[in-house]
Each structure stands twice: as structure tokens, then as C-alpha cells.
Amino acid sequence: MKKGNKYGTHRVILPKGALPQPALKISNDMEIFDNEILIDVDYLNIDSASFTQLKEEAKGDIEKVKTKIMEIVNERGKMQNPVTGSGGMLIGKVEKIGDSLKGKVKIKEGDKIATLVSLSLTPLRIDKILDVNPNIDRVEIDGKAILFESGIYAKLPEDMEDTLALAVLDVAGAPAQVKNLVKSGNTVLILGATGKSGLMCSYVAKKLVGNNGKVIGQARNEKRAVFLRDTDFCHEVIIADVYEPTDVLKKTLEVNNGNEVDISINCLSIPNTELSCILPVRDGGIVYFFSMATSFTKAALGAEGVGKDVSMIIGNGYTKNHDQIALDILRESNVLRKIFEDKYVKK
């Protein structure tokens, strides 16, 4: 077998010297190098910001979404949305392990795994798109993928459906980061609290803030607000337009005794919401952008423009033990597990 670079630079075609994630084109030749793992792919979970953009561009036409996905993968060798720059993750079966990795990895050929690195850097070949579920950003395919030596993954648990585990692991970084950020007594605002990552963050945050803290969840309409209230994951639920930062601020102050919050968490899948996350936070507070639609420029200049001295954190999709943390959250909360099962498990 040919020897490969730990970080996959041997797969980069354009531009020379780049790492696979920022590269414009990588090789998706499925003949593996000695330090790669070949995966027979079942499902892609396109990240929410990317799938939202694809659906909007296709005006809801799923056949056009399929065509665009194929075009991107054929052109780039990976599933990296050229507009959002983001990817997603996949689940599949380990087909082959490179010679230099045998005995060094905790998986064997035949195991089912979920990759915990982005599709935006994963060599991918799609032979056929079998199905697209636009409600949950899932694409069923016949195809293969490559995991680099540096790539992280999780062996799929035996106590839950594969598609359920995929949905949870797709956003595993968010609740794990919240666990590190939120302290007892904090007031926390979560934008997009009714979505997949938002629900998990709300659940974790409420546990952490304790009796003296408060979690405020944002919903886009009354129907979603009722749903969120029924979960009991938030102390307060606001209906606010995330495209109007002053509306978010006003609604937040109304339910927080006129005070700004200590921490805000952006779990939205749409762009141009940076200031809605920044404006309600007190000076010295924390703004956590888990959303892949976040613009660094808009966040940095926006905070400067409104005179906010806040610490802004970009949502690293990887946190130590984030896969186990996320799966354990689902095991712990029957309410959360039922919500996820109803939406993400094939009937």
C-alpha cells in the first residue's frame, strides 16, 4: 500500500499544499493508502446550514437537490457546499483498514461507524442517491468514503437505531461545549432552541444553571414555542425574529428582569443572525456560535459596532468525549429520546 500523510494532504489536488478541508478539490479514488480506512456508506447527514441553502437554491425541488449534491461531489471529491463551506457527517460499514492502522484502531472490518469529521474534508464517491429526506437533512446513498488517520469516529451503539445515533452524533459538539461553558447560576439564551442541537443544548444548560440560573429558548412561531414549552427544557420561551436583533434583545429583557444574559448560543441554520446572538449578552459574557452559517466578519465587526465586550467562541465540532456525552444525554432523557426517535428513526 502507498504511504499517506496523517492529515490527508496526499489526497489534495487543488490548491497544492492545502489541507483537505479548505482544499477546492481532493482525490476520491477509493484505492486506500496504508493509513486510511475505507467505508461503505449508508447515509450522509448534510449539515443544517448546507442543506437549508441547497433546498432554497433548488426552490424545494428534491431532484435538483440530488443533482446539486452529485455535482459538488463529482467536482470537489467531497461533499462541501461551495456557498456555506460546510459538510456534515456519515455512517457506514468499515470495509477495509490500511496496513499501518491494523492493530492500532479500536474498530475492525465489518463494524458500523459514524465519522465525527466533516464531509467537507472526507473523500467521497457517490454511485447513486437512493433517497433524500429533506425534513431531517439525510441522504441515503450507494457509495464509499475515506477516513484519514487523524479522522475521529464513533462505533455505533447497540442500544439505539443507527439513524438515531447519526442524528445525535451529527451535533455532538454542541452539548459537549455547553457542558464546558455553562455554570451554576448563569442566564443562557439559546437561539434555534427547537432544532436538533438547540434541544440538546437547552436540556444540558438547564441542568447546569441550577435553581438560581435561567435558560431562555427562542422559537420562531407560536407552534414551535408550544412544542418547546412542552419539553420543559427551558425556564422561559420567547418568540422572536432572529433577523431583528433588537426584537431578540427586547424579548430577552422582558423575561429576564430587564437584564442581559451571561451566555448566548446560536444553533440556527441560517445566515445573518450574528447580532441577534451578540446584542442580548452582557459585557464580559460569552457568545457561542455553533451555527455553520456564522460569518466571522459579521460577528467581529458587529460586536465592535454595538460596543459589546464579549468573548466569542466558534463552535468546534470536536470536544473531547463529545460522542459519548451526546449519546449519554439521549439515554438520560426519555423526552429528548422520544423527540429524536419520532423524527429521525425510519418507520
- The DSSP annotation for 263-279 comes to EEEE--SSSS-HHHHHT
**Main-chain dihedrals φ then ψ at residue 297, nearest 5 degrees:** -60, -50
- Spatial distance between the Cα atoms of 135 and 51, rounded to a whole number of angstroms: 10
- Spatial distance between the Cα atoms of 203 and 200, rounded to a whole number of angstroms: 5
Query: How confident is the model over 200-227, as pLDDT tens digits?
Result: 999 999 999 999 999 999 999 999 999 9
Stretch 119-148: mean pLDDT = 96
CB 173 within 8 A of CB 319: yes
CB 111 within 8 A of CB 118: no
CB atoms within 10 A of CB 314: 12
- Enumerate helices (H) and strands (E) in the chain, giving the number of each: 11, 14
Average pLDDT of the chain is 96
Task: State yes or no: pLDDT of 311 exceeds 90.
Answer: yes
The total of structural domains in the chain comes to: 2
Residues 122 and 191 in one domain: no
Residues 130 and 205 in one domain: no
Residues 84 and 113 in one domain: yes
> Which cell numbers in the block locate residue 332?
438520560
- pLDDT band, residue 277 (cuts 50/70/90): very high
> Which cell numbers in the block locate residue 325?
456525552
The Cα-based distances of 319 to 2, 6, 169, 346 in angstroms read 31, 20, 12, 29
- Spatial distance between the Cα atoms of 335 and 330, rounded to a whole number of angstroms: 9
Residues 140 and 191 in one domain: no
Say which residue the cell 423575561 belongs to: 255
* Positive or negative torsion for Cα 340, 138, 165, 75: negative
Stretch 285-290: mean pLDDT = 97
Say which residue the cell 475521529 belongs to: 152
Residues 273 and 203 in one domain: yes
Stretch 26-40: mean pLDDT = 97
Residues 121 and 180 in one domain: no
Task: State yes or no: pLDDT of 346 exceeds 80.
Answer: no
Quote the pLDDT of residue 347: 57
- Spatial distance between the Cα atoms of 130 and 142, rounded to a whole number of angstroms: 7
Quote the pLDDT of residue 316: 81
Say which residue the cell 492529515 belongs to: 7
Q: What CATH number should be reported for the domain holding residue 276?
A: 3.40.50.720
Residues 127 and 94 in one domain: yes
Residues 133 and 214 in one domain: no
- pLDDT band, residue 130 (cuts 50/70/90): very high
- Spatial distance between the Cα atoms of 308 and 306, rounded to a whole number of angstroms: 6
- Spatial distance between the Cα atoms of 332 and 324, rounded to a whole number of angstroms: 12
Amino acid making up residue 126: I
Quote the pLDDT of residue 317: 80
Burial class (CB in 10 A: 0-12, 13-18, 19+), 150: middle
Q: Answer yes or no: is 2 within a domain.
A: no
Amino acid making up residue 236: E
CB 165 within 8 A of CB 114: yes
> Which cell numbers in the block locate residue 142?
450507494
Residues 218 and 99 in one domain: no
Q: Answer yes or no: is 162 within a domain.
A: no
**Main-chain dihedrals φ then ψ at residue 285, nearest 5 degrees:** -85, -175
Stretch 7-25: mean pLDDT = 97
Quote the pLDDT of residue 320: 86
Quote the pLDDT of residue 342: 94
Query: How confident is the model over 77-90, as pLDDT tens digits?
Result: 999 999 999 999 99
Quote the pLDDT of residue 81: 97
Rg, Å, the chain Cα set? 20
Which residue intervals of the chain are DSSP H helices? Answer: 48-57, 62-76, 162-170, 173-181, 196-209, 222-231, 245-255, 274-278, 296-305, 322-332, 334-344
**Main-chain dihedrals φ then ψ at residue 214, nearest 5 degrees:** -150, 135
Residues 256 and 296 in one domain: yes
Residues 67 and 148 in one domain: yes
Say which residue the cell 463529482 belongs to: 74
- Structural domain including 98 reads 9-156
Residues 178 and 267 in one domain: yes
